[in-house]
Structure 1
Amino acid sequence: MSGTDAYPQYLKDVHYSDDSELNTVEICIPHSPSTTEKQVWLIFIHGGAWQDPEIDASSFRKTQELLLKSEDIKYISGLASINYRLSPYPSHPKDPSNPSDPSRNAKHPVHINDVLAAILFLQEKYGFEDRYILAGHSCGATLAFQVAMKRYWGSQYESTFALEMNVVPPMAVLAVEGIYDIPAMIKHHNRQPEYKEFVTNAFGSDEAVWKAASPVNGDYDDSWPDGTVVVLAHSYEDELVEWEQVELMYKALKTQGWEEGLEAPSKKRWMDWFELGGKHDEVWKEYPTELERAIKATVRMVMGKAPGIGR
C-alpha cells in the first residue's frame, strides 16, 4: 500500500502472472480491516466477447466509486477487477491484434486459467478463502461460472487447465448480461456471423468444446457444493445478449436444486434474477448505478444467507 492509513487505497496494474502485459489486477481496499463486522471481497471480471481491447479491468471503476460511497461498503473488505489475455481480433477497427502479441492471441482455456491465477493471487495475498462474490459481465459472467464449474470441459482438456490452481470457489456468483449457453447463442444469432466468429476465435471450431464450456452444462452439485447464492442480472434492453440466456441458465440451476428467493432461510442454495435497465454495455458504462444495484442486492443476499457473515 502507500504506507499511510488513508482509505480507500488503490493498486493498479498489479501483475498476478508474468505471462503477458494483460495479466494484471486492479485492487481497492475501501477501509481499515474490521474486527466487528464479517465482510466479503467483491471480484469483477470484465466482458468484451473474450477479445475486445477497449473493455478491460477499468470498466469496473465507475461502479466501484459508487460502491465506495454506499452504506453497503461496510460489508466489503476489498474489491478487485481482473484483466486476462484476449483472443485474436485482427478486424478491430482501432486496435487490431498482432499475431506476435501473447496478450492478444489467447485460446480457451487460457482466459479461465488467467482468471483462476488472479483469484489465487488475491486469496494468497489477502487470505479471504471462499469469502468473496465473483461478479462478471457478458463473457465475464461465463468465466465466473466456469470458476465454479472447475474441470468443466472433460478429461481430454485437463492437462491445459492448470489443475484448478487450488483456487477456492466463491460463496456467490453475480452474472450480469451473461452468456451461459454458447451453442444456443450461436443459433439465436445465426444471421450474424460475427457471433460465430468471436466464439471460434476464443474456443476454436469444435462445437463440443462450446457445449462443454457453457455454464448451463455445469454440474454444480459436484464442482461447487459450497456455493450459496447465484444472481442473474439482465436487461430486457440488451441488444447483444438475448434474455433467453437467462431463462436457460435459470432452468439449469433449478434442475440442480437451486431455489428461488430468500423467503425460506433454511434453503442452502438460493438463486434469483435481477432486472437491469439499459443496453448491454450501458449497465456499467453509461449507467453504472445499474451494476451497483445488482452488486448491492447480491451482497445483501449473501449477508442474509452465509453462515458467519452479517451483522
Structure 2
Amino acid sequence: MASSLKYTLHQYGAHELQRVGVWDLDIADKAKYWIIFIHGGAWRDPRVTHEAFAPSISRILDASTSSIAAFASIDYRLSPHPDFPQDPAETPETQLRVARHPDHLDDVRAALVFLQREFALGARYVLLGHSAGACLAYQFLATAPLSSTSRADDEGRVGDGETPHLPAAVLGIEGIYDMTGLNARVGGSYSGFLSAAFGAPGDWDRAAPMKFAGRYRDRFGGLAALAHSPDDELVDMPETEGMAERLRGDVGEGSLLVWKDLQGSHEGIVEDGSGVARLVLRILAILEDRAGS
C-alpha cells in the first residue's frame, strides 16, 4: 500500500497548489527510476489532487518494484470552476484558482525542476498523466528546448535556465490532445472548461499537443506511450488515435507504444489503479530491456 511508504509533501512555489507529493521506496538508489504523475480534473477540479495517484502506487507495490526509486505526484494551479466559486476580495492570492495556460504547464515544469534539484534524479523517470495531466505531459515535451540543449548537467542538476531533464518515457492515459477536435465531437459541451483553461477557442490549437507545429523527435528521444479505455465516457478513442498518428509520423514506430486495452470509466481507471500499474510496469520492462541490449 502507498501508505506503507515514507511520504513527504513539498512546496515548489508560493501558491498552496504548487506542491508535489513524494513516496520514498528506494530514493538512495540512483540507478532506479522515479514514477512521476500529473493528475487530471479538466485543469480546474479542486477535488482532484496529487493524492489521486495513491491507488496506482498501491497496485504497483503489489507487483514488481525492483526498478523503482520513488513515486511523485504533482499538483498545479487550477483554473476557475463554476461549481466551486471563490471571492477574490476574500480569498488569499496563494489560494485563488485563476490559472490559465501556460500557468498549469509552468507549474509542471517547476515541479520537475524542484524534484531534480532536490533528489538529483536526472532523466531516470517515467512521466505519466491522466486526462488533462496527459495533455500537460505532452505539452511539456512540445515546449522543451531542442535536444542539444534539453539536458541538465551529468549529475542531474538543472542550469540557470531551470530546464529539467526530459524523461526516459512519457505515458498519456485517456488524454486530451486536440481541444478543438474533441469539443466538436461532443457538440461544444466542453467549451466551458476548455475556455477557462486556454482562453478563446481560437487559442486552443496553439496549445494542443496533437497540433504542435514542431517535431517531437527534435526535443525528445525517449519512449512515447498512449493508453485508452473503450469504456471511457468522457474522452473518446479518436483523441488517442489522433495523437498516436501524430507521434507515429514523428518519433517513429520504434519509440511509440499504444494500448487500447484499458478497462473502466474515465475516472475509474485512476480510482482503481490496476490498469495504470500494468502500463507503468510494461514501460519499465521495456526501458530495462533497452538498457541491457
- 1:170 aligned residue (167, 170, 187): 167
Distance of 1:216 and 1:62 partners within structure 2: 29
Structure 2 CA distance, aligned partners of 1:105 and 1:112?
A: 14
Aligned partner of residue 275 in structure 1, secondary structure: coil
- The structural deviation recorded for 1:221 is 2.1
* Alignment match of 1:85 (pick from 77, 92, 114): 77
Q: Tell me, yes or no, if the aligned pair for 1:148 and 1:170 is still in contact at 8 Å.
A: no
Equivalent of 2:217, from 221, 228, 250? Answer: 221
Match of 1:33 among 28, 35, 38: 28
1:289 equivalenced with 2:274 (yes/no): yes
What secondary structure sits across from 1:235 in the alignment?
coil
Does the 8 Å contact 2:39/2:130 carry over to 1? yes
* Aligned partner (choices 237, 241, 246) of residue 235 of structure 2: 241
Preserved CA contact (<8 Å) 1:231 1:274: no
Supply the distance in 2 between the matched residues of 1:246 and 1:98 (Cα, whole angstroms). Answer: 37
- In the alignment, the residues of structure 1 paired with residue 141 and residue 161 of structure 2 have an alpha-carbon distance, to the nearest angstrom, of 10
Counterpart of 1:130 in structure 2 is: 123
Change in CA separation of 1:200 and 1:101 when aligned onto 2, cut-off 3 Å: farther
Which residue, out of 172, 187, 190, partners 2:187?
190
TM-score between both structures, scaled by the size of structure 2:
0.86
| Aligned mate of 1:300, from 279, 285, 291 | 285
| Whole-angstrom CA distance in 2 between matches of 1:151 and 1:216 | 15
- The separation in 1 between residues aligned to 2:182 and 2:201, in whole angstroms, is 15
Q: Tell me the secondary structure at the aligned position of residue 165 of structure 1.
A: coil
Aligned mates of 2:118, 2:103 — CA distance in 1: 22
Q: Percent identity?
A: 33
Q: Supply the distance in 2 between the matched residues of 1:150 and 1:215 (Cα, whole angstroms).
A: 10
Q: 2:97 matched to 1:108?
A: no
Give 3-state SS (helix, strand or coil) of 1:180's partner. Answer: coil
- Counterpart in the other structure of 2:138: 145
Counterpart code for 1:196 = S
Match of 2:50 in 1: 57
Mapped pair 1:118 → 2:118: no
Kept after mapping to 2: 8 A contact 1:8/1:29: yes
- The alignment partner of 2:227 has SS state of strand
> 5+ unaligned residues in a row in structure 1: which ranges?
1-6, 153-162, 260-266
Do the aligned partners of residues 293 and 204 (structure 1) sit closer, same or farther apart at CA in structure 2, a change above 3 Å counting?
same
Q: How many residue pairs end up in the alignment?
A: 270
Deviation at 1:74, TM superposition (A): 1.2
Per the alignment, in what secondary structure is the counterpart of residue 26 of structure 1? strand
In the aligned structure 2, how far is the partner of 1:274 from the partner of 1:304?
A: 23
Aligned CA-pair RMSD: 2.1
Unmatched 5+ residue regions in structure 2? 146-159
TM-score (structure 1 length as normaliser): 0.81
Q: Give the CA deviation at 1:66.
A: 2.0
Partners of 1:233 and 1:85 lie apart in 2 by 25
Give the drift of 1:68.
2.3
